[in-house]
Amino acid sequence: MKNKRIVTLVYNELPLSKETADYVRNRLNMYEFKINETISTEADLIICIGGDGSFLKALHTFQFPQIPIVGINTGHLGFLAEIDPDGIDNFIENYINGDFYIEKTQPLEGAICTRNSCIKKYGLNEIVIKGDKSRTIHLDIAVDDQLIQRFSGDGILISTSLGSTAYNYSIGGSIVDPRLNVLQIAPLAPINTNAYRSFTSSVILPSNATIKISPEYRFEDNIVVVCDGEEHRYSKITEVDIRIADITVEMIRMKSSNFWNKIIDKFL
């Protein structure tokens, strides 16, 4: 190992996270790592201590850096994290010895467009489109420019395969093995009456699909876009285009890591 490899260390304010960060810092110092708490393009690794929310916040704060990242779980579920606090020493040893692999995953890219411009937002797990002020919203949903439905309900959730076990799973969406690079559309409280007909189950789409979501009515062009739990409000929206982004997130995995073992451990 070359001297002074750079590690960016981030953590939340919970006592266990701070205590764990102190321990990680001390152990890394023993191996002559250089530790930063702000992002550096020269960093070799990002270590995020906390729960899934902290992991996602770090990615968004650092604008999805092209640097390997690993999570140490001091939260509740910790599905995105790879390490528990009692496995820190083993992780550092494995990392130094190169005994790990990189799981590359692509987040979602959402282009939120008005008549004059578009703003890009990203979501590792999901992007959600909802009506402002928690009202029923009517949305035209097209896939590759083909209208597939006029949706009515609370909103629409689009998830990655990795995010299929997050919000998507809680609303009845399908769990997707992350080795499959797909998009999933899941409805939020769809309305099915004589007046409105909406899909009641999730829909799986290929990785090269583009989903276009447009407010059906002009008075509903104030919408809420939620990216991995971060809420953004926009007005005068004409459409939101969502696709799998060209960028990748590099997540460090131990060689013993297994997706379905984690599903059984966390959910069953």
Cβ atoms of 184 and 167 closer than 8 Å: no
Tokens of 145: 């420019």
Q: Does the active-site annotation cover 145? A: no
Nearest to 156 by CA among 124, 218, 110, 195: 110
Beta-carbon contacts of 29 under 8 Å, excluding residues fewer than 6 positions away, are 35
Q: How far apart are CA 29 and CA 88, in angstroms?
A: 14
Q: What is d(CA 206, CA 201) in angstroms, rounded to the nearest whole number? A: 17
Q: Cα dist. 192→9, 148, 149, 151, 152 in Å? A: 48, 16, 12, 10, 8
Cα of 183 vs its chain's centroid, Å = 13
- 49 near 26, Cβ under 8 Å? no
DSSP, res 17: H
Show the 3-state SS of 235-255: CCCCEEEEEECCCCEEEEEEC
Tokens of 228: 């991995």
Neighbour count for residue 201 (Cβ, 10 Å): 11
Taking the mean position of all CA atoms in its chain, how far away is CA 168?
11
The active-site residue, picked from 22, 44, 52, 246, is 52
Catalytic residues: 52
